[in-house]
Structure 1
Amino acid sequence: MSKEARGQSWSLARRITWGCALTAAVLACSLSVTKFSWLFVVLALVIGASAGALLGGWIAKHFRGLATLIRGMQAPSDAIEFGSDGAPEEIVEIIDALRQKLRDVSGMAQSARLVSSGLGHELRSPLQNLMGEVDLALMRDREPGEYRDVLRGQREELYKLVRMVDNLLALCTAHESRRNSTAEHFDLGVEAGIRLDRVREIACGHDVELRMDRIGSLECDGDREAIMLILRNLLTNAIDSSPEGGVVHVLLNGEKSALEIVVDDGGARVAPEERHRIFDPLYRGHNGGSLSHGLSLALTKQTVEIHGGAIEAMESPLGGMRFSVTLPRGRQ
């Protein structure tokens, strides 16, 4: 609650204290008077009861208002707009706690929707490809080399499945991971040089050249695995979007106060009016782009924001899309 709100609202305990103090003062006055002392006691009781009734009605009004708002909710996110001006501090604390819990509920509900959508859409295509290749291979006897080709194709589809499942799980557990993750000190340039072998294999399999430049100091403090996931998702997204013989270029820039990751590809461009939606989970777009891109980009944006950074999509000098990520060197 803001300082202004705290200044405008009275604590219930404070109100009760003042009420008791007033009653005690009246009683003390009555006891100090010999004549008409019982009259003063009765008067004190009447005043105390009236003050208690007014106080109880005032408290009940706020709780009834809170109950009415809760009953009128259509979605968990509606509770975020609760008004709390003029309410007691204790009720405002209840509203704040309720807001936070309902944000968590809203996040879990969104995660459940993502899982159901992902299972229904993301996983169907690679599974159908695997089934089709197996059925085709079993239609007749083949040479060993042909079976190896089938297995290579299946391995590629299995890698896609693993990536999709990883992204789904990461999206669903992002809020929990944020609470439990710990910041590590590491060098992003060193990590990228060591841990992107699988991305290089994907680029080679798509006949795409992967170029990487590193400048400046790339040391930072943050969630190592989450930041590497950002880099991997951007690179695999760019590779999948690139034509055969294309180029994907990544720049890791550590010359500024914040780290910068810039990934360029030569694939299809996204229309300017659609760019604000390409980070929506499972958004396909008018050009029928791969759904897995939308999922990976949604996860990337969420992870970037959790780390206090920003991501932007724009046209690339290579002819396709550029994704620029800015991350603070310290965990926010």
Structure 2
Amino acid sequence: MASNSIALRLSGMFALVALLVFLLIGWALYLQVDKGLGLLPEAEVDARYSVLESQVQRFGDLEHWGKLSVKLKLLSEEDKRLRFWVVSDNPSYEFGSPDPKIRAFAQGPLGMRDLYLNDHNYPFKVRVSEFPAKDQRPPLRFLTAIDTETFRQTQHSLVIALISLAAIGIALASALGYWVAHIGLKPLLDLSLEARKLAPPRLSGRLQLSSLPPELDQFVTSFNSTLERVEQAYSRLESFNADVAHELRSPLTNLIGQTQVALTRGRSAEHYFEVLQSNLEELERLRSIINDMLFLASADQGSKATELTEVSLAEEVATTLDYLDFILEDAQVQVQVRGDAQAPIEKAHLRRAMINLLHNAVQHTAPGRVIHVDIKDEGDHVSIGVTNPGTLISGEHLPKLFERFYRVDASRTNSGGNHGLGLAIVKAIALMHGGTVFVRSERGENTFGINLPC
């Protein structure tokens, strides 16, 4: 949606920054100009007063006072902003027809002050001066004033100009910011268009780094790494789906075939019993596959072993061997346990992992041979390795042996309940305990095992 556009967000941020900058600059400029404008009326009043001061002090007769009054009148007419008042006990030496308000103001403190008149919106800046008596002239209060309206209007015009310029500047910053952001984000848009093309089954493509800004290199590298993991997961999923279909198809085909044959014509009760017994074996196999797949799905969702108990691993292995006693006897193999260690484990899960490891070893051990279970305390973890004598496994297969449905024999020949999920479950149980799995094939022996944290 447009409200979530990065370009619009950036342009909004540019506008906000421009607003703050213009506010700071405008406020500083306004204060400086306001200070200057505030001094101008005082400076002009002082300039006018300095011209008249010597004339007022020099002469004290009525004749010269008349000439001074004419000059004050001319100055007032030339500049409508100027006002002069002279207050005295002798009306002959007064000027400007001072009313009671002016007279009261004149009797106040000397110096620069503000005078507010009813017919003006802005105050007059007034310099109140006092001249002592001289010859015929009595003491005087001399008021030199200037109307500050023009200065205040200038000040208001400056405020309006600053606000207008700030508004225009913010609008320009927003527009230019959007344009700059749109251009700057174009490589990201190109990446988005390129990424849209990467969908199953076309997962082998990768985003290119050559034409991108350096800031996007890390993102593209991470995205390509994610694509690689997705491709691998997708390939595993496709293989897993094919394996699941194959594993489920065989027992279902057997069930359907045997049932169809039994139904072609009448059979004896003994024959039907044999068919049902065979079907039961296939159904047990189906149930085992489904249970294993549900367990792995739960492990994939991050399930952890929670009911941990500190136990002797040698005792747990011995308990598992008791459970496998008949299988070991039928295979005519022996198991020797070497070493012991303590570790926090969930008993049911560990026994399931050991059953799978031992069952895997029994399947690949010739009659009369010995399988060894080695338990070692490695300091920060303990290892349980199940070693059986057998044909060496090629190095290219070793990293994949704990994957689901993976078999060294590509023909997928099955026997009994072996459906290729046993070692995958071992790995899942190790991960649920925060451990790892390992496999070695050397000197005529194959070792599969798990590492568990102490």
> What's the offset of the Cα at 1:234?
1.9
Superposed, 1:1-332 pairs within 5 Å as 18-29=17-28, 32=31, 33=33, 34=155, 36-56=158-178, 61=185, 64=189, 67-68=192-193, 70-75=195-200, 86=215, 113=238, 116-128=241-253, 151=277, 160-176=285-301, 178=302, 180-186=303-309, 187=311, 189=313, 190-194=315-319, 198-204=323-329, 206-213=330-337, 215-220=339-344, 225-254=348-377, 256-286=379-409, 288=411, 290=413, 292=418, 294-305=420-431, 307-315=433-441, 319-329=444-454
Structure 2 SS opposite 1:273: coil
- Once the two structures are superposed, residues 197-216 of structure 1 have per-residue CA deviations (whole angstroms, 9 ceiling, x without a partner) of 55444444x52435252533
Amino acid at match of 1:262: G
> What's the offset of the Cα at 1:168?
1.8
Distance 1:265 1:195, change over 3 A: closer
Mapped to 2, the partners of 1:212 and 1:258 lie a distance apart of 22
Mapped to 1, the partners of 2:349 and 2:232 lie a distance apart of 19
Mapped to 2, the partners of 1:46 and 1:285 lie a distance apart of 75
- Once the two structures are superposed, residues 117-169 of structure 1 have per-residue CA deviations (whole angstroms, 9 ceiling, x without a partner) of 3432223344556667778999975979xx78994x77765554444223322
> What's the offset of the Cα at 1:102?
9.2
> What's the offset of the Cα at 1:219?
1.9
* Largest Rg, 1 or 2: 2
Distance 1:273 1:130, change over 3 A: same
Amino acid at match of 1:21: L
Mapped to 1, the partners of 2:347 and 2:19 lie a distance apart of 57
Distance 1:74 1:143, change over 3 A: closer
- Point out the more displaced range, 18-27 or 57-66: 57-66
> What's the offset of the Cα at 1:260?
0.3
Mapped to 1, the partners of 2:412 and 2:391 lie a distance apart of 9
Tell whether the 8 Å contact from 2:381 to 2:451 is kept in structure 1 after alignment: yes
Distance 1:325 1:140, change over 3 A: same
Mapped to 1, the partners of 2:177 and 2:428 lie a distance apart of 46
Q: Which runs of 5+ in 2 are unaligned?
A: 1-8, 34-154
Mapped to 2, the partners of 1:228 and 1:58 lie a distance apart of 64
Q: Which runs of 5+ in 1 are unaligned?
A: 1-10
Distance 1:169 1:56, change over 3 A: farther
Mapped to 2, the partners of 1:159 and 1:212 lie a distance apart of 31
> What's the offset of the Cα at 1:29?
4.1
Tell whether the 8 Å contact from 2:357 to 2:449 is kept in structure 1 after alignment: no
Mapped to 1, the partners of 2:442 and 2:169 lie a distance apart of 76
Tell whether the 8 Å contact from 1:265 to 1:316 is kept in structure 2 after alignment: no
Higher relative contact order (CA 8 A, sep 6+): 1
Mapped to 2, the partners of 1:293 and 1:321 lie a distance apart of 20
More helix by share: 1
Mapped to 1, the partners of 2:334 and 2:241 lie a distance apart of 34
- Once the two structures are superposed, residues 269-299 of structure 1 have per-residue CA deviations (whole angstroms, 9 ceiling, x without a partner) of 3222332333343333356455756433334
Structure 2 SS opposite 1:253: strand
Distance 1:327 1:50, change over 3 A: farther
Taking structure 2 as the reference length, the TM-score comes to 0.50
Amino acid at match of 1:40: L
Amino acid at match of 1:277: K
Distance 1:136 1:159, change over 3 A: same
Amino acid at match of 1:22: V
Distance 1:55 1:296, change over 3 A: farther
Provide the aligned C-alpha RMSD in A.
5.0
Tell whether the 8 Å contact from 1:218 to 1:252 is kept in structure 2 after alignment: no
Mapped to 1, the partners of 2:256 and 2:321 lie a distance apart of 29
Tell whether the 8 Å contact from 1:70 to 1:79 is kept in structure 2 after alignment: no
> What's the offset of the Cα at 1:242?
2.9
Tell whether the 8 Å contact from 2:357 to 2:448 is kept in structure 1 after alignment: yes
Taking structure 1 as the reference length, the TM-score comes to 0.65
> What's the offset of the Cα at 1:326?
1.9
> What's the offset of the Cα at 1:262?
0.4
Amino acid at match of 2:242: S
Quote the sequence identity (%). 23
